[in-house]
């Protein structure tokens, strides 16, 4: 996606459509804020659920041994 960005919205029961074209300079502040908040949120996610996805050290050794046995 690149600039300009066209936005069209409708206010309920107004029978009025509003159009706005944004230049990059108009959205820089909110874009930076959005990016920072998104990064902050991702960095603050709990990681315990990911541990189940990653093999522990013992499982890694076993997997490695299995691969060697296959060869």
Q: State the Cα–Cα distance between residues 24 and 31, nearest whole angstrom.
A: 9
Reported residue count of the chain is 71
Q: State the Cα–Cα distance between residues 11 and 23, nearest whole angstrom.
A: 23
Helix (H) or strand (E) holding 40: helix 24-43
Q: Decide: helix, strand or coil at residue 67.
A: helix
User: What is the pLDDT tens value at each position of the chain, 71 positions in all?
Assistant: 689 999 999 989 999 999 999 999 999 999 999 999 999 999 998 888 777 777 677 777 777 777 888 86
**Model confidence pTM above 0.85:** no
Decide: 6 and 20 in contact? Cβ < 8 Å. Answer: yes
Q: State the Cα–Cα distance between residues 13 and 32, nearest whole angstrom.
A: 33
């Amino acid at each position: 996606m690149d600039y300009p960005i066209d936005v069209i919205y409708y206010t309920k029961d107004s029978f009025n459509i509003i159009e706005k074209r944004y230049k990059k300079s108009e959205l820089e502040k909110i874009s930076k804020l959005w990016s920072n908040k998104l990064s902050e949120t991702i960095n603050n996610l709990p990681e315990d659920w990911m541990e189940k996805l990653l093999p522990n050290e013992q499982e890694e050794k076993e997997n490695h041994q299995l691969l060697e046995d296959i060869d």
